[in-house]
Chain A
């Protein structure tokens, strides 16, 4: 594996803005240097990211995230900055929550950096289009990645 960075899209493209992580990949692929980056769609199988992040210096996880901001807002944070204290002994296979993921990441002593870029969704109904606010968030996602790498 010669590429240093992984951009991982997570989400369900049939649930409106929930698919922003997947749909942002095409935009990012055109804007970032493909010699340095791999782009993978993880959809709803986020547990599999664990096996991949160990191969990259940095992994950027792009996903819909509810942080109570206006639709389309972008917020980035390192995985270890999340509060894992609320994770109890639960784990499902499809909908592995970010907190479950964090706990596994920490318990397995994975040192590779994981930076999560959350986009505040507007519409999570059954449809395969993004809302206009969320669609407009792609440059903000790109800014988060370039900011971290600079």
Chain B
């Protein structure tokens, strides 16, 4: 619903489309002044943290991977890292490489969904990808091919293309075969052609111009464009913080109109995600990704939140090239079972890991930003407290502040429809993943 007079305007976008989950945009302008501007999350809470309490630390990742069908690998790895931090477990370099490869695959998978299926329709002036199948069929086929490659990666590395099964505390329960890695490498090198075609498409598309500098937060690690490890880096203070002390940095708070918590750093909003990583770690991007950024007109730092999508496109190339590099390293050295192979829960007795009480935090960069899992376990490895902070919740405050600055810039010169579209596109640019919930087919026969 949308109402506007010369100096008044109400926008109520109920159930924003092309995002995961249910969120509303509410704007109220009266006598030319912006009275209210909200992004309301209206999903039912799912209480995953409560579900974890009383469960073994060894099964935590199988539960938390269900938080999200897109970031299942990210949740799995954050969970495992939190468990390892709590138990004091160290893993081999080979295990870290395999984890990084899995995370890259998931990042590519999620990004391609976002820039092709959720964002491209806005930029091409249609409501969804369905009209694009008629007008841009080859583009949709490229998107599906790119997605197939990353799906396959997760499938062969983690034992399932969604909700990984083989990645556990201390290592993996199964290693990929050499021929599988060779096949994967070929699929990845073949994807370069599709990527170049994608860049050519997006170079022709125009993103809205809007600038609002904010705090950019991501993991940062010297010498690498950090995803799996690193300290929490805040651009405004230029300070690094050990993820184990994330509560010294991140402050969660509640809005009475949202079932998701909001987050702040030093009482101010901040952004996480592809653009934040790009701004904070640009110099560690793969050269091919830097070339793509230049070609797409993206330079660091960028303060236009709409360009988060372009940063995702750039990251896709980085993840691809880094994945090929990891596969080459694994093939050169040969996979060593002793370095990574462990038994799975509940065969805890066979593990060389000593269970002890403790607390640990796992932080990883997932497609939408920094994800934290924080567990406390007792002497039997049973979780007694859990806290998970997802990237979308961290971005909500920043999104609202963007909207509050954008609306006065557009009102009253733009039409109601244009303002609403700009706000919807802004929310979609953050790639919000509001929740994964039950899906139930509602069958209607012809």
Q: Do A and B bind each other?
A: yes
Which A residues are within 8 Å of any B CB, using their own CB?
Answer: 10-15, 18, 40-48, 50-51, 63-67, 75, 77, 81-83, 86-87, 89-95, 97-99, 103-104, 107-108, 116, 118, 121, 124, 126
| CA–CA, A126 and B51, complex, Å | 9
Q: Which residues of A contact B163 (CB under 8 A)?
A: 41, 43
Given contacts A12-B66, A94-B68, 7 further A-B pairs with CB under 8 A are A48-B162, A63-B441, A89-B127, A93-B70, A94-B439, A103-B130, A108-B140
Q: Which of B381-435 contact A (CB under 8 A)?
A: 433
Q: Are A93 and B20 in contact (CB under 8 A)?
A: yes
Contacts of A91 in B (CB 8 A): 18, 117, 128-130
> Hey, which chain A residues are within 8 Å of B144, CB to CB?
50-51
CB pair B133–A107 under 8 Å, yes or no, is yes
Take A15-B438, A91-B128 as given contacts and tell me if A81 and B17 are in contact as well, using a CB distance cutoff of 8 Å: no
Q: Among residues 108 to 161 in chain B, which have CB atoms less than 8 Å away from a CB atom of chain A?
A: 113-114, 117-118, 126-131, 133-134, 140-141, 144, 147-148, 151, 160-161
B contact residues around A121 at 8 Å (CB) = 440
Question: Are B70 and A65 within 8 A (Cβ)?
Answer: no
Indicate whether A83 sits within 8 Å of B445 (C-beta atoms), given known contacts A45-B162, A89-B127: yes
Task: Collect the chain A residues with CB atoms within 8 Å of residue B114's CB.
Answer: 93
Closest 10 CB pairs of A and B: A89-B127, A44-B69, A89-B128, A65-B441, A51-B148, A107-B133, A15-B438, A95-B439, A45-B69, A45-B162
A16, closest chain B residue (CB) = B438
Chain B residues positioned under 8 Å from A98 (CB to CB): 441, 443
The DSSP consensus for interface residues of chain A is mixed
Q: Shortest beta-carbon distance, B161 to chain A, in Å?
A: 6
Q: With CB as the reference atom, state the residue of chain A lying closest to B137.
A: A108
Nearest-CB distance from B97 to chain A (Å)? Answer: 25
Task: State in angstroms the CA–CA spacing of A18 and B46 once bound together.
Answer: 15
List 10 A–B pairs whose Cβ atoms lie within 8 Å, in order of A's numbering.
A14-B51, A44-B69, A65-B441, A82-B446, A89-B130, A93-B118, A94-B69, A121-B440, A126-B47, A126-B51
Q: Chain A contacts of B441 at CB under 8 A?
A: 63-66, 97-98, 116, 118
- Contact between chains at B440 and A124 (CB < 8 Å): yes
Q: State whether B66 touches A13 (Cβ < 8 A).
A: yes
Closest to A64 in B: B440
- The distance in angstroms between the C-alpha atoms of A121 and B442, with both chains bound, is 12
Report, as a range, how many residues of chain B touch the other chain.
35 or more
- A97 and B444 CA atoms in complex are apart in Å by 12
Answer whether A41 and B438 are a contact pair too, CB < 8 Å, given A91-B18, A93-B117.
Answer: no
- Does B160 lie within 8 Å of A41, measured CB to CB? yes
Question: How far apart are the CA atoms of A12 and B72 in the complex, in Å?
Answer: 13
* B70 pairs with A45, CB closer than 8 A: yes
B436 pairs with A94, CB closer than 8 A = yes
Which residues of A sit under 8 angstroms from B148, Cβ to Cβ? 51
Picked from B20, B437, B442, the residue with its CB within 8 Å of the CB of A66 is B442
Complex contacts, A63 vs chain B, CB 8 Å: 441
| Closest Cβ–Cβ distance, residue B260 to chain A (whole Å) | 16
Contact A42 B161 (CB under 8 A): yes
What CA separation (Å) do A91 and B132 show in the bound complex? 13
Task: Report the bound CA distance from A10 to B163 in whole Å.
Answer: 12
Asked whether B274 is an interface residue with its Cβ less than 8 Å from the other chain, the reply is: no
Query: Is B307 engaged at the interface, CB distance under 8 Å to the other chain?
Result: no
Chain A residues with CB under 8 Å of B433's CB are 94
CA distance A39 to B268 in the complex (A): 48
Q: Which residues of A contact B440 (CB under 8 A)?
A: 18, 64-66, 121, 124
B19 proximal to A (CB < 8 A): yes
Set A12, A77, A89: member contacting B438, Cβ < 8 A: A12
Given the interface contacts A97-B439, A126-B47, does A81 sit within 8 Å of B446 by beta carbon? yes
Q: When chains A and B are docked, how far (Å) is the Cα of A131 from the Cα of B90?
A: 41
User: Given that A90-B128, A126-B46 are contacting pairs, would A44 and B436 also be in contact in the complex, using a CB cutoff of 8 Å?
Assistant: yes
Q: Is the CB of A82 within 8 A of B444?
A: yes
Contacts of B126 in A (CB 8 A): 89
A12: which of B51, B133, B141, B436 is its contact (CB, 8 Å)? B436
The interface bits of chain B over 63-80 (1 if a CB of A lies within 8 angstroms of the residue's CB, else 0) are 100101110100000000
Contact B17 A18 (CB under 8 A): no
Task: Tell me the minimal C-beta distance from A99 to chain B in angstroms.
Answer: 8
Chain A's closest residue to B114 (CB) is A93
Q: Which residue of A lies closest to B442 (CB)?
A: A66
Chain B contacts for A126, CB-based, 8 A: 46-47, 51
The residue that B444 contacts in the complex, of A45, A47, A83, with Cβ under 8 A, is A83
Asked if A14 and B66 sit within 8 Å, CB to CB, the answer is yes
Chain B residues with CB under 8 Å of A10's CB are 439
